[in-house]
Structure 1
Amino acid sequence: MKYQTRRPAIILLADGTIFHGKSVGNKEATSFGEVCFNTGMTGYQEIFTDPSYFGQLMVTTNAHIGNYGATNDETESDTVKISGLICRNFSYTMSRKDAEESLESFLDSSNLFAISDVDTRALVAHIRDNGAMNAVISTDVDNIQGLKEKLKKIPNMAGLELASKVSTKEPYFFGDENASIKVAALDIGIKRNILRNLAKRDVYIKVFPYDTSYEEMKSWNPDGYFLSNGPGDPEPLTNAIQVAKDIINADEPLFGICLGHQVIALAKGISTYKMHNGHRGINHPIKNVVTGKGEITSQNHGFAINKEEAAAHPDVEITHYHLNDDTVAGIKIKGKNCFSVQYHPEASPGPNDATYLFDQFIENIKKVTV
């Protein structure tokens, strides 16, 4: 049995705390990243392939991971983006009829190191109380001091620009070229389901690399613009911030999600900050201030925009709040055709309460094109 050949492994946190586990498979490996946790009960494949998680060691709070296998339909990018997986129970067998391969096979093909048999409840409680921090997972259990020295050299997520690591290298198209609406998307870590949600609303999308200028995007003559989700600190994204400024100044239709939301806020002079441990899960409660309704949402972010600055800004209206901690979850720019949200209306994984935001974006485009 595979469990008999697994190697002892550790999680070493930047504060010196150590948790123990076992390697998934008989691997000798070491991986570094910022440790964070996701509370979703399902959707592990979408989480692992979400570009917003680039460079992070993912702790899954659901006790069983891998039990329904993997399928090509549930990837959000071409490759696994997390730097490592930490779980309680890893299932080497799958029980879903539609699964194309086991999760072990899927992770092996991506050369991703995973460890299981970890007390994830204790680990999550530690992160929750002490904040997200860098960590290392390794089977080199007898070299604690050496791992500590290497861990000290890993850069912190604050100030780290990662969009360039996950963005497309060349522009590409998605959807029906005969669609009635054209949208130019700036890829700073875009998920496939965002493109699917736009395409099924009669939108043809051209996806541009992270460092593309507004002028180059505009030369395609789009009807609207989109700023995607993505990993890392938004403040170093000077080009994306300038693009947002240019689009807003031109009063073109603009929609931003997650990192794109933060970029739009920075374009209006609202600062961002690194959160204690972020929001990562598929059941986060949001209040829509405009409608008064609540939404259950999918979220994945470690940074947020400054609430006081947003509330005091004469050009900004706060449209959504996170009900757990009252952080800003959505804004719109007064007098401009621009809005953004801090969460993921495209879900994948997660609920579909917020898909109306894509319809809102389409309506905003039609107001100026019809």
Structure 2
Amino acid sequence: MWQLEHPWLLLLLPLPLLVWWLLPPYGERTRAVRVPFFDELTKATGQTPARGAVVLRGNWLRRVLAPVCWALVVLSLAGPQRLEPPIERIESARDLLLAIDLSGSMATPDFLDPQGQRVDRLSAVKSVVDDFIAHRTTDRIGLIVFGTNAFPQAPLSLDHVAVRELLDELRVGMAGEQTAIGDAIGVAVKMTEHSKQRERVLILLTDGNDTAGRIPADKAAEIAKAGHIVIHTIGIGDPAAKGENRVDLDALKRIASATGGRSFRGENREQLADIYALLDRVTPSKVKHSVYRPKVKFYYVPLGAALLLMVAYHLAMLGVLAPLARRRAVSRLSPDASGS
């Protein structure tokens, strides 16, 4: 589809007519040479002297090309352009962060894989989370790992293949042997502080309690709420265990409740898969659709045509009309030259 970017500039088309009509003609005074044989000179040249101004006359070609070139220049200023077929852009409308505990207790082999073989907690979690990521095709997903320390394993990205590869590289103890839940929430706040998305979700999974956090988990939850982050917590492991190995379900419930999220308890791989499936339903993928139509500008076409017409006209004047004018002048003076 063709259109003009600035169609109002077409109002300039009658401007030369208005100038010709409203403004006085340009005049210039020049000095004349006085000769005593003026009458003889006019007779010799065949001219009739008259009083008043000398008005230069144009030829018919200039009268045609001048308005054509002006119209082409105005058309170029108006910005002719062609609209290409629309391109639809699909953008994520939610940031989704997954925080996974890598403390030493995650090596406990108390989960069963689909074949009935015993596996450690981290292997079961990685399998379920990988399937969860595979279903979230339109969300920006980031990965946080925590133990004694917390750090981002994968930044928020739509490249889910890369996120899943980084998930597969997780190993027990790579972030330390203890559990820093408050720090993991703090990393989530840091990762989303410059995000343009108003919806931000953190799914935090742990099998321990906050024993190494530099910031208390409850305080971190308040900061997350102020940052518009909803936290869903998943507790696995044994709540009756002692020390570092005890999962603090009450603390996880407080964290989730403070941010408007939900808290879950996962005792085996099947329950864990059901929890992530439920979270997949309660936080459906949200996308923003925007339509962009590329524009191809063609202002140079009428501008180039006007330039070519002007160049061709001047070349024609120099190559055709100028020699013709010289021949006419010579023919007028030839009888007088022969008479002398």
Provide TM-score, normalisation by structure 1: 0.27
In proportion to residue count, which structure has more helix?
A: 2
Q: Which has the higher contact order (CA 8 A, sep 6+)?
A: 2
Larger % of strand: which?
Answer: 1
